[in-house]
Structure 1
Amino acid sequence: MKIALPVSQKSLIQWVSQATGISSLGVKVRLRGNDLHILCESPECPQRWRTLVDLLHALQHTDLDALTKNEQPSIYQVFVYGRKKGENRPQWCHQVFLNQLDLHLQQVEQALIADAEKSSRTGGALILSNESLARKGDPNAIARYLSESLSTFGIGVEVKAKKQQPTLENPSNQNRLLIYCQSSYTPDPSLIAEPVAQKLRSLKLSGYQDAVIATQVDGETDFDWMLRVDLTPPEIMLKEWARWGDLQAIARILNERLSDLAIKVTATLKESTLHIFCSAADPKATEQIPDKTQCLQAIMPQLQALAPQGILAATVYGHQTIDHEPAWIDWQSLPATEHPDLAVSALELSSAGDEPAIIFLLERLLNPDIDTRLKTGGTRVLLLRKGDLLHIMCEALVCPSRKQVASKVTQFVRQLKIVGIAGVRVYGRRAGNKEPFWHYGVDFINRQRLVPEPTPEFAATAAYVGELLTPEANEPVLRPDLTSQDVQSIFVEVAQDWGARIRRWLLATQLFAEKEQSQEQQVEENGWRVALVWGLLGFLLTLQSDWILGYITSHSIPETPKIASTRPQLSSAEEQNQRLERTVFFTNTSPASKNQVFNASGFTQKEESITRGKATATAILLAARSPMPSFNARQLDEQLALYKQRLAKNGKPPDVLIIGSSRALRGIDPTTLSQALATQGYSDIDVFNFGINGATAQVVDFILRRVLQPSELPKLIIWADGARAFNNGREDVTFKAIAASPGYQQVLQKAPANENSQNSNTTSASIKREQSFKNTTHTDNNSQALDARLNQALATISTTYNQRNQLKSLLNKTLKSLPLLRGKSAVNQKITSADPEQDVFEQAVDFDGFLAIPIRFNPATYYQKHPKVNGSYDNDYKSFQLGGEQDAALQAVLQFCASTKITIVFVNMPLSAEYLDAVRKKYEQDFQQYMLRLAENSNLIYRDLSLIWPQANENFSDPSHLNLYGAEKVSKKLAIDPMIPWPTK
């Protein structure tokens, strides 16, 4: 049975046959990782050196990657075999490094001249090993060096270097190695992790902070797994431990220092004195006594520079052998005698709660073999203290075993007896992962709340997973794609082409002419005359068109007959009440609401379900009766009216206030949250949802610091939103509408008094920002007044002004009837209804301000009605930047909450995988880093729920908003979150 070979292998076989003169039937090739294996066979075994000379000459003029048509990873080395037909084993094998072809050719030609058939192998003095080249830090040389091990597993390697930005953990500008592994299968991380790490660390690369290994299956675009390798040089690791007083590390450093003197060192620690014993390194030199002066000159400068923690002095002994009495003794004081901070041992510091000391002792506990740690990086410990719990993350190249790690760590922490620590939580993960593979917890005392704690975010102190690979690195390996520059150039060319076509068409109508210099001069001379003539003609044309349209409107649209009303005149309040009754009646009797009010048996459901439909109508009435002018945002007016009613009814603010955009409005159910908190022992917690569609950080800042008084705010605020609310690059439409409202003007008039009472520490940036909005709104109001006067003047002379609505309806019907625009109108209808917020705007909130959406997101049907917008064209992420006015608003809110002792929690709301494409995911990762840094340096509590259900579409109403089922789950999850200090009665 014949097996069809890939095209790339057929091309290689033909190339080898032509280069060596061996029949293609006697040539076999195989690609494994970055290695090309060539087997040459014939009735008589091919001559080794003649075959190699021909092949090397051909390799000098051939690009092997071109022969494979980029279907395989780059080829770094070639193995050539020769055997006789019918035999199973080759008679000879030769390895060729493609980066040293000239040296190989020189070596083979010399062997051919010297009749090398009798010698099995020539000397390799001319050939430099891949390891020696890789030590220089060249990525291509490192790739060839790693391929020596990985190609045996069929894994191809490509290496790149990326410049890292300075951070707190890495202040120096070091590089990061990006190692991409490509194969036909997914290799087990435990199979290649430690061998690759040992090979990388053995190079002792300078200028590299760490390496990231990412594996990818041929034909796939995503990486299967990632692994982070610490490239900290072994000597730096030794010094870090030696500074903490580790005996093994100190002894190893001293032995390296004394190796040139043929002296070996052993060390012991008694109380706070280090005892160092010096003897001859050669056991045969029994009569040799180490020279005292040489030993002290080599040992003491090292100890003075290390300044080991908790070691006050060092006693140095000179021995003929360890068993003999010392020939000489010397005592020296160490820096700890002069610096009290160094006199305390690492164990005492750990018992006092010093986190660096705890990390050192835990890493020493989990890395008993110092050689293994220096070769692979060992097990790393990350520490995070939250409340009375100590969270400990243990990560290594291969995830540490729970049985071997958890009990050791918990027992050690228990023995420390750290004040204020009531329990410990231990986690294990592979280096490079964000989420742990396992977790384990022990409580030292009976804690009041026995609820499951979420895994804390260790990303603030560790290498964040989203930063391990850049967006460019996430592209398929060795598969170049269309770049953003290419797309931009294509659009420029298309725009220029269309611009030229439109210009030619306008000139062809003879209504337009080319603009010449002489014409420009003539217009400048007679400009005012021309303007006057054309202005009069335009006015006459406008007046005539108005008369004609007025005639058409009056004869085409019949007037609505006026029916005399026999109903008695009602006051405005009574009329609003009747309108409210009609609205509620219509809502409750509609088919959509009937299913919500009545159950299958015909009996009414709980009162809670009915009141959800009445809240919006009540809010409309309350907003109409409110003395506060409108904010040009209907939902803000209504939510504020409901909130004021809650304050008047209860006489105090709610215990918890939820605020944010539509993600908050539809994402957290106050009723479910209150009930879930009751099961945790927090009874009668009053929760209100103040979510506003389109609310940004500026809108939230305005509501909390300007609209509401401090006495109207609770002690806990949950700000639920996402990255788009903080994008300073997009136009803030919602806040601009509010800033142009009469309600905003009234609030700003009261602002000076409120500033003194609310927040005396308002930043100068916030004051400047609000002053600029004052000037803007003042200009807008003047423009609106001028516009109103012009409209009144136009109404007196125009015949169609009073019938403009009828004219608009007539033109709309006429345009829709045109066959050319019928298809476009349908498309426009789809586009205008594509906004998920607009679809649910008319639905009713309940009396807690929550908008319950029962729709379940189904991509198959959703995108039939709504367009699928890529993140590159999403206006919410347009010119994405985290700073400017939105950042100033956030800082103002945090400062205000700190001064008024209000706890503020920010919840990054869940998003679906349909929504998180590559562009949005990058921006979301930037936002997460922004919030993590902010939470470290402020009073903000940050909880990230964005990726808890990426594939659970049943929890979403659209790609970026939760439905009522998802809101219920989020509310329950927040209720058991121990990071949130819920208020107690």
Structure 2
Amino acid sequence: MNTVSLDRQKALAQWVSQATGINSVGVKIRLRGNDLHILCEAPICPPRWKTLSDLLRALQQTDLEALKSNDQPAVYQVFVYGRHKEEQRPQWCHRVFLNQLDKHIEEVERALLNHKKNSPVSSGAIIISNESLARKGDPAAIARYLSETLSTLGVAVKVKVKKQRTTEKEAANKQRLWIFCQSHYTPDPSLIAEPVAQKLRNLNLSNYQDAVIASGVVGEKNHDWLLRIDLTPPEVMLKEWARWGDIEAISRLAKIWLNKEISVQASVKESTLHIFCTPRDPSSSQIPDKDFCLEAIIPQLEILAPQGISAATIYGQKTVKCEPTWIDWISLPAADHQALNISVLKLAKSGDESALLFLLERLLNPDLDNRLATGGIRVMLLRKEDLLHVMCDAPICPTRKKIANTVIEFIHKLQVQGVTGARIYGRRAGNKKPFWQFGIDFQPRQSTVPEAPPEFAATSSFVQDLLPSPDSEPILRPDLSIEEVQTFIGTQTQKWGTTFRKFLLSTQLFIEKDSAPQTSTDTQKVLLAGIWGAIGILLSLQLDWALGKAIADYSQAQQSKVSANRYELVEESAIAANPIKGKTNSSNSDAFNHNGFTQAGKKIAEEQKKANSTAILLAARSQIPTFNSRQLDEQLALYKQRLAKSGPPDVLIVGSSRALRGVDPVALSKALASEGYQDLDVFNFGINGATVQIIELLVVHVLKASELPKIIIWADGVRAFNSGRPDQTFETIAASEGYQQVIQASEENSKNSQTSQILGQELDQKNPSDNQNIYQAFNKRLNRSIAALSATYPQREQFKGLLNQQLKKIPAISNFSKHPGNYPEQDTKIPAVDFDGFLALSVRFKPETYYQNHPKVTGSYDRDYNNFRLMGEQDIALQRMLKYTALRKVPVVFINMPLTTDYLDPIRSKYEEDFRQYISNISKVNNNFIFRDLTELWPEKNDYFSDPSHLNRYGAYKVSKKLAVDPMIPWPRK
């Protein structure tokens, strides 16, 4: 809502007070959109016509723009109200068009005169409506006309006209309306799109091709969004469809060709068009005149030349049920031209894009009235080899659920010649890039590069006015054939090999094989090798000795530095550990109130730092050997401390980073409390990159049976179940000393117990093979031998620290380390979690800026989906874990976490469908396992995500509340 600034408000109020004689205290001013509202109140309600007369004459003599701020929008109309001071509602209201002040003054003066004579008040002046003025095409009148609707939303309007750049084939008088909307907030396009489209199209502006709405916030130069409205006259739209033989369009055109007294109905049988002409008034006995009807219809039908219709029969009758009074038959152009005699369906099947375009637009616009009123859904086609790309845009972006499957099914049934797949896109009219996309292949096909969405024009012509310059956007790589890719790689490899060969020869340490001397004997070769070997060993020993001395000096300096700060670190860690008391969590307890997020990140960040330092200290003091995963070590240390203070939590959240960031323990606990589940303790044990094998390791082997929760919420996605890709995170953990210890302890505890009966020989599969044990023993002996000879090897960790410190001084490496890339599952710097193990991220996903710093990786090139296969090691781990939790009577609820539209491209969507079927089948045969799918909960709510596939703390809050009210989840009770 636009409101006049305080100083300007006083100036306007004083001006109204002086003009009307009303005390300035009784005058209130408000500017909303392009409407100025003036409220006049007094102990006795101000008289309507006298107040209006004084105010209108003052308006006639005063420049209203001078009384308001320069950044305020223009005022098109003024609403004047009068009321008693103690009343809530005004007694009278009068609207004044500022462009017709003279007529308003004439109206008011006549009313005053009649009032003095005690005669009925009647308007003598004719006030022309804004709609009538706008139909003439005047931009100022169109702005006033639109402001009647938009000002109620607090949106100000300004209209300009720009001539289109035309080609020789197009008319030179085409113009475009630019409608600039300003407000103190960004209105949703759906609030403005259809109302403005209907009002503009209702004007039937024949001299404008289209209109573009540009919405922005007051004080900002850039527009928030653009919206294109097609201003093609309804009659032209009807002719476009009638050309293809659309019966409803032909019927409506016939009503236009005939006068209003005649009603028309049309139908098609075989290839003949039947048109029935009847009186509009059923009680009328007058039959439509035959000559008049034929003269109005026949020439127009011959010009239209409808596709696939070779003849027309026209009837004149009293009513539809009566026998025709007269009949006439005519031949249409399709009878003489073979190309026009082919049906639209046959043309579309043969690949005719114009025919296919009509069929798709007719399919997506079943309501012809809505299409004529708003412009409807426009379809654009682009054929690239065997793929058909279909762009659907409208004033309000068509939804994927309503559009995609309908179009795919139609194209598939139509069996268009040469089309083996289709890609469907949806966007708001005026945008260049799609909001969503969906695709399917009707036949198996091969693609060597990712399929980028093709460029569709934002408008029907001269899109440069709407689109950014080419320099501002990256150039998309074209599709390449396999032969072209192989040729390019072979040529580049040969060039690199030649360059490297020349470099080796230039060092004079290598010579050409053909030019090498042939006279050297085996003895000489052995002697030469021995000399160079001795020199190498000597240099290695000297380098090792020098590095050992340097590292010793560095270690001594670091020791003194650490000892100086040790007391401070221990004190900080103790303070950080202090707030933990059972379930109470000071880090998050105040982060929310009943309105949602009122205390953004500062306090949460401080508490996360405290929890993180506590976790580091606890992990360092832990007696459990490391798992080669700092995050797993620290999360386990926090969990062990929770166990020591309050026992196992009621709810344990597990999974990868999608769980770590996506489910808030505090929000979940509070939401469950409001549902009657009081005092439930929740802990988030999310681990970046966790797969099914890691979750099984945690639940079955790392945690003891007494440390298990009452229910496990497993929040993740399909990537964790892919057995076809290398599970590097698990392999790293499996090579650790901590892993060997928990597996050995698990084996010992499972002997002669129920667990051994459930797991059988599966635990043995966890143990390294005999060959691996032999290799590890040999490796340890070799390490001990090298450590005894080398001065550097025993201090290798210190050497890493020294090397890292020196490398960071190099600018290029330093800058690179600050931008590690877009690998959310393998962060080089682990963010700080809170005391409940939750990682609260406040960053919001904005595609327009996110992809400037991160590459956009499609599903075809996503490493998480490499060699996608659901059956394998991950499935075996899942079955093992479900058997174990069923034995312990711990329900497992798998939550398929929400994803964005940017992430769910056609490849990933297909994998998601396969995964849903797989996990649903498992849940049907396992009563202890529940599957809940939230993948497409908020595909367009980017504010709930920190990146395309991970929630932020706002999304985590919403997911936690949704889980709490889910009736399928068996939440425990105290």
What's the TM-score, normalizing by structure 2?
Answer: 0.49
What's the TM-score, normalizing by structure 1?
Answer: 0.49
